[in-house]
Structure 1
């Protein structure tokens, strides 16, 4: 059996940095030569500086990287045609034997290229565009597209239970469920209690959050999908001077969020923190994690917060319900855009001082479990082993 050369493909470098370093290491441990194709120049939810560091990291890992000029969203016909040709060139010039694709557009272009070049494709859906309880419009638009490309999908990986159930409607060859992309529970659990208290005090002091304040955070891209605006509107509605709010992330909604903060005169209570690489301090400093994305595969920022013992409010119509399964670690809203509902649930958590009292439900999301499952998938799909 010849050497396996696997291309990990994603539209943005952030998907490589945040979700695929472990996958690269797993493939290398199996003897594969790993290539990465993504857009390093427009890297998504990480900064360009982090993207440059990612390139250095890939070099140090002996991973060959390729700039693919993907656009965000659905792209344009011209841009997508160019990206498809770039991917086909990478496959041809490097004798690629398999592709592991991420993100909707990356998944489509990967499957077009795989079909054209006769290369096996695994596609990980980080949240299908259509989902139970989701807008009918998304089902009418995106389901037929995914159904068509499912015929060119050797294996579909879903990261939440709802998507795995829906995947039965798609004519893919094989389907798998894994519990997210993995979190480092061991590292988090090893942080001493004294260090946690120190981080909490330091970050709250830095952000001018008093002991008597109720500090809410959100972690995620500044985008309409992440829905930070609804949280700001709910805080305005509550009109409680002891509620402080901070958002960690970058994105194209920054100006709109800044305007909303100014409109509601919340400059002293709501802050945009930009990109933060180490979130430990922010999680320990906070009293509540607001993660009410309109659509979310699993919500790594939400799961990571729970792992740090931070109480969470999430969206019932997303994969978050896989780990927010009881009021011991969080609550789920029925409508993430209902300002009254969001305001009421914030008030409830604040008044009752609800705390995350159990992380038992998230042990299966640890890297030790997820990596083992991914290794089995790779062995079967790329190495032809019956496992």
Structure 2
């Protein structure tokens, strides 16, 4: 019997529901368009960078799409042996019960446990690395700890998908069966806003935020954690000592209280706002004068790229996948050391003084949702259906 006639059932796995909601809805639709039955396994109870209410809404969306979803009790970080073994058993049980024929895994811990399960149950697995834990310019200890782990599990990986050029280069040193590069997870370039609507959104949002016409609004979009590095942005703004600078952060996370305390310590209470989780970011992007996105580690930095597509000038980290789209000074500036608040302050001052605006070119179009979906469709066809374009 040919492989094509066998009903394929693919399980998409991520440690948090936010990774499904933010990065995998299109993947689900692609698989379904290929006649594949899709299952989703993730932690809906601890959903990551989205709220619990949005996690519950995600369940309803998946059900409406005809997707069977499963609670997996992933821990944050690397997890403990007992917790990880529980998740391994949960995944193996799903594979056995629903006759799963393949897995597409995301996130470091999700990728490790999913690959253990796939190896144990002898089924195919694809793993998308949303930024390796080790990278050029990163800490030596990360290379010593995480590279050997990734190398070990690469032996049990049928296909490794990377979303930036640096990770794709590193992937050639890993013993995977197949490796692919796709430019990110897809961004919508087709904004259904006229120039007049954009200006109205800008005025309306700035009014809501209490930002005056002559003030300079810096934004950051991302989880409130140490990796997203909002702390350095706060220190850079304090260094500039300019009351006309306003800073708004969209996101939730465990670092909230520490950032509030740091804001007070630096005397920035009148300049800084923590907005929490925002489902609709259009208004914030159009209201902004600058997007500062200096994560210490980032596979691509969707919050940065999405801002660029909205026309917001950006400052990013040169040691991350951001350099794939911050190609020149027409798009943004790159810092060499993301924790150097003085370097960042100088870059902010340059962007302010020159009133920098984004000038997009054709190269950025490769990050479009249409292009990424096309590439993922071909990967799924080849890996899960043995169809070659």
TM-score w.r.t. length of structure 1: 0.99
Q: How many residues were matched structurally?
A: 385
Over 3 Å counting, the alpha-carbon distance change for 1:112 and 1:362 in structure 2 is same
Distance 2:76 2:159 in 1: 24
**1:178-211 CA-partner distances (Å, limit 9, x unpaired):** 000001111x2x3101110011001100111001
63, 77, 80: which one aligns with 1:76: 80
Q: Deviations over 1:271-303 (max 9, x none)?
A: 100000110000000000000000000000000
Match of 2:352 among 341, 350, 353: 350
Per the TM alignment, residue 265 of structure 1 is displaced from its structure 2 partner at its CA by 1.8
Aligned to 2:137: 133
Task: Judge conservation of contact 1:158–1:164 (CA < 8 Å) in 2.
Answer: yes
Counterpart residue number, 2:30: 26
Q: Is the 8 A contact 1:315 1:332 kept in 2?
A: yes
Question: Any stretches of 5+ residues in structure 1 without a counterpart?
Answer: none
Cα separation, partners in 2 of 1:282 and 1:276, compared to 1, 3 Å: same
Partner of 1:232: 234
Alignment equivalent of 1:174, drawn from 171, 174, 178: 178
Partner of 2:146: 142
Q: 1:305 aligns with which of 304, 307, 329?
A: 307
Matched, 1:46 2:50: yes
1:282-297 alignment runs, 5 A limit: 282-297=284-299
| Equivalent of residue 270 in structure 1, options 272, 284, 287 | 272
Using the size of structure 2 for normalisation, the TM-score is 0.98
Structure 2 Cα separation of the partners of residues 342 and 33 of structure 1: 48
Contact 1:220 1:249 (8 Å CA) reproduced: yes
- CA distance, structure 2, for counterparts of residue 54 and residue 10 of structure 1: 14
Query: In structure 2, how many angstroms separate the alpha carbons of the residues matched to 1:231 and 1:133?
Result: 20
Deviation track 1:108-143 (CA, whole Å, cap 9, x = no partner) reads 001000000001000000001111111111000000
Deviation at 1:361, TM superposition (A): 2.9
2:116 paired with 1:112: yes
Distance in 1 between residues matched to 2:361 and 2:107, nearest whole Å: 29
Take 1:358 and 1:101, find their aligned partners in 2: how far apart are those partners? 32
Contact 1:98 1:121 (C-alpha < 8 Å) held by counterparts: yes
SS in 2 for 1:268: coil
Q: Matched residue of 1:181: which SS?
A: coil
Q: How many angstroms apart in 1 are the aligned matches of 2:360 and 2:85?
A: 48
Rounded to whole Å, the distance in 2 between the matches of 1:212 and 1:361 is 33
Name the structure 2 match of 1:8. 12
Q: Is the contact between residue 309 and residue 359 of structure 1 (CA under 8 Å) also seen in structure 2?
A: no
**Which of residues 263, 275, 290 is equivalent to 1:261?**
263
Q: Deviations over 1:89-112 (max 9, x none)?
A: 010000000000000000000100
CA contact (8 A) 1:306 1:356 kept: yes
Unpaired runs of 5+ residues, structure 2, are none
Partner secondary structure for residue 172 of structure 2: helix
Change (3 A) 1:359 1:14: farther
RMSD: 0.6
